[in-house]
Structures are given as C-alpha cells and as structure tokens.
A and B are shown apart, each in its own frame.
Chain A
Amino acid sequence: MEKLYVLYDPKCDLCERLKDWLLVQRTWLGLCMVPAGSEKAQKMFPELQQIATCNDLVVVSDDGQVYLNNSAWIMALYALEDYRDWACRLAHPMIAPFARQAFEMISKNRLTISRWLGHYEPDEIAGELSRVPLAPCAAPGETVSDYLR
C-alpha cells in the first residue's frame, strides 16, 4: 500500500474540510483527492458505484482495498505522519463510530483529544467524542456499508 485515493463528498462541509486539511499534512502514503460522483471518480473506479453509494467518505488504496465511512476516516488519518498512532487508537470498535467527531476535534482542538487518547479508557473516549457536535450532513446515518458488514 503506497497510495490512497480519498473520495470525498463535495457537498459535505466536514469532508471538504478534511480534504483541505489532508493536503497540508505530512504523509506516509501518497494521497489523491477525488470528489465523489465526479467524472474522474467514475472513470477511475467504475466498480465503486455498486459498493459505495451514499457514503460521506470512501478511501481506496492502490491495491484495490475499499474503506467506507468510519474506516475511511481512520484510514485518512493512518496515512499521516503525525496521526498514524492516533488512527490506530481510534480504530478501537468502541471509538471507531466517532471517527468524524475525532477529526473535528483534531482539526479544531488537538490538545484536548490528545489528552483523551493519552489518558482515557476507550469507553470514556467514546463518551467524550459522542458529545462533540457535528454538522448535519456529516452525521453518520444508515449507509450501504452498514448493511454490507
């Protein structure tokens, strides 16, 4: 795995912000931003339309692995030099559903989430993250990937 394609929803504020933020980070893996549903996305990943329809974020690795929603948010962090270990902590099943909130905190209030990840138990982190407000477009609803699991 050398490169990640990040298909973000251009209509979602949080996804837009993630895209802008990812572009200025130091990375371990190459990152390529593709607006979801665009011509470029359809041309590059024709198969993806059946797998991911109404997801806010999709990450595809250069070896063809597809990550949707929560996993996609975690994989985006995993690509970054400064946040790889955070991604590994956020992958805990109790915390993963709050990956968007975690990103919200990372991009706005790094110190606080750093303290949570450093000292708290997974359930406490999940509790704290669940209280972080999100824009309605980014709130996780029922998506195809939830049925796929």
Chain B
Amino acid sequence: MNVFKIPLDSTRKRSYLVFEQVQNTVYERIYTMHSTETTIVVSYLLYLLISVTLTIWVARTLHKRGAIFLVDAFHGNAELAASVNHLLVVGFYLINIGFVTLALKSDAQITSSRAAIELLSDKLGFVLLALGGMHFFNLFVFSRIRAHGQHNVGLRRPPVAPDAVLKVAVPR
C-alpha cells in the first residue's frame, strides 16, 4: 500500500501545481486587462476634465474681453452687444465641446503609464490647436464686426448735396 501511496500523492501534488499555475496566469491576465481598462478610463476622464476646463477658460476670456469690442462696434448699444456676445460664446462652447467629445475615442493599446501620458498629450494638443483656431476666428469676427460698424458711421452723411427736395412725402 505504501508503495502505491507515494506515486499517487506525488501525481496529485503535480496536478495541484499545474492547476495553481493556470489559475495564476488567468488572474494575471484578468489583472492586466483590468489595469489597462482603468488606465484608459482614467486618461479619458483626465482628457475630458482638462479640455472642458480649457474651453470654459477660453470662452470666459472671450466673453469678458470681447464685450468692450462689441459695445464699440454697436455704437454703445450695450444690450445688443451683450446679446451678440452671448450668442458667440454659445457657438464657441458648442463647437469646442463637440470637437472634444468627438476626438475622445482612441484605438491605442495602453500598456504603460508612459503610453497613457503620450496619448493624453496627443489628444490635448489637438484640442488646444482647435481652441486656438476658434479663438482667432472669434477675434476675426469681432474685428470684422467692429470695422464694419465704424465704416458705416464714418461715412453716414451722403457725399453730395441733393439737387432738390420733394414737398410731398415719398410713399413707403
């Protein structure tokens, strides 16, 4: 009996060992999968947080500093200027946040924190460029509106005198 006992036991031990090894690799795989998932989610969240904060900051700057421009362009009509300013900022938010959310998705396999940071900076770089482009476009719109308004004011009087004036009112 004893003769049989040792080999049996040893095979059982071996099978235990094999089983444990398999179990360990599965765990490891699950663990690494889990950590990749976490890394990408954390990068996405960081990306959203930073880019939305940046958008809000740029929009507020535009709103605050653009107001003076617009009041001047609309010849002191502060109400109209505020309304146009608000509409411009709403458009700015919509375009930028739309861009940010569309640019979120990435197919990159994130295996290390280094890759995560690279991906994040890649995406943020695009967002910053888009924000910069939109910002300058907005500045262009502001200056265009202002130039337009001033041009109109500077030349409001007709350059020639009328030859005659009708006594009867012109029908409208």
* Residues of A bordering B, CB below 8 Å: 1, 3, 5, 28, 44-48, 51, 60-68, 70-71, 74-75, 78, 84-85, 87-88, 90-91, 96, 145, 148-149
Contacts and interface: CB of A to CB of B under 8 A. Distances in A.
A44 B160 contact: no
B169 to A, nearest CB: 7
Interface of B: 151-152, 155, 158-172
Contacts of B152: 28
Contact of A51 (B159, B160, B163): B163
Given A64-B165, A85-B151, A149-B163, A75 B158 contact: yes
B155 A47 contact: no
Contacts of A148: 163-164
B170 A47 contact: no
Nearest to B152: A28
A149 B164 CA distance: 10
Given A84-B155, A85-B155, A88-B155, A65 B167 contact: no
Contacts of B151: 84-85
A59 to B, nearest CB: 9
A50 B87 CA distance: 52
A67 B170 contact: no
Contacts of B167: 47, 64
Given A60-B170, A66-B165, A74-B160, 18 more contacts: A3-B172, A5-B170, A45-B166, A45-B170, A47-B167, A63-B170, A65-B158, A65-B164, A65-B166, A66-B163, A87-B159, A88-B155, A88-B159, A90-B159, A91-B160, A96-B160, A148-B163, A148-B164
A70 B159 CA distance: 12
For the complex of A and B, list the 3 residue pairs with the smallest distance between their C-beta atoms, beginning with the closest. Answer: A91-B159, A65-B162, A64-B166
A92 B55 CA distance: 51
A68 B168 CA distance: 18
A61 to B, nearest CB: 8
B163 A71 contact: yes
Contacts of B172: 3, 62
B163 A145 contact: yes
